[in-house]
């Protein structure tokens, strides 16, 4: 995923294990000054985060950005709700998705792109336990295949 001019700052590794990702959107995020510095240092946790559409605006909830050490009075609440910046037609699509049963919006990664902090937002539907077992079995099979290929290349 790391492309030209793109530096990944945080990823939600658990998201692709717990959810089927139907669609992804790149969106900006409204931040205060010291939050930007803290994110650039990698002090962000998006594991429990989710997004919600309210009044035709998208808000990111439950994402923890640690206070910047040198920020003193300018630091804000680490768990505050942050607005996501999307085009109107994208927000309309997200409203359509979230009104369907079972769909949720989760942050997949936060990265720097041309000096701006962006959020990759995924439209996801939850996996059942048997789906998770199936994905674990696929990963294990893939690991065994790769291991076997490495051993054959050495011999």
Q: Phi and psi at residue 121, in whole multiples of 5°? A: -100, 130
Model pTM score: 0.75
Which of left, alpha, beta for 39 (phi over 0: left; psi -120 to 50: alpha)? alpha
Q: How many CB atoms lie within 10 A of CB 122?
A: 22
More confident call, 52 vs 75? 52
In this structure, whether the domain defined by 7-127 belongs to CATH 3.40.470.10 is answered with: no
Q: How far apart are CA 153 and CA 75, in angstroms?
A: 54
pLDDT reported for residue 131:
74
Q: How far apart are CA 59 and CA 146, in angstroms?
A: 41
Q: In the structure, what pLDDT confidence band is assigned to residue 82 with cuts at 50, 70 and 90?
A: confident
How many CA atoms, within 13 angstroms, populate the side-chain half-sphere of residue 61?
10
- Reported as a single tens digit per residue, the pLDDT across 90-123 is 998 888 888 888 788 999 999 988 888 999 999 9
Buried-state track 69-82, b at ≥16 Cβ within 10 A, e below 16: eeeeeebbeeeeeb
- 56 Cα distance to chain centroid: 21
Burial status of residue 135 (CB atoms within 10 A of its CB: 0-12, 13-18, 19 or more): middle
């Amino acid at each position: 995923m790391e492309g030209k001019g793109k530096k990944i700052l945080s990823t939600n590794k658990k998201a692709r294990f717990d959810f089927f990702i139907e669609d992804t959107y790149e969106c900006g995020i409204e931040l205060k000054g010291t939050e930007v510095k803290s994110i650039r240092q990698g002090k962000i946790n998006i594991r429990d985060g989710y997004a919600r559409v309210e009044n035709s605006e998208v808000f990111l909830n439950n994402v923890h950005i640690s206070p910047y050490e040198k920020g003193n009075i300018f630091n804000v609440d680490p768990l505050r709700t942050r607005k996501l910046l999307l085009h109107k037609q994208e927000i309309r699509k997200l409203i359509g998705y979230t009104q369907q049963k079972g769909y949720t919006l989760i942050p997949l990664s936060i990265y720097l792109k041309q000096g701006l902090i962006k959020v990759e937002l995924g439209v996801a539907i939850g996996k059942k336990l048997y789906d998770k077992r199936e994905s674990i079995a696929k990963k294990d099979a893939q690991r065994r295949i790769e291991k076997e290929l490495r051993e054959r290349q050495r011999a």
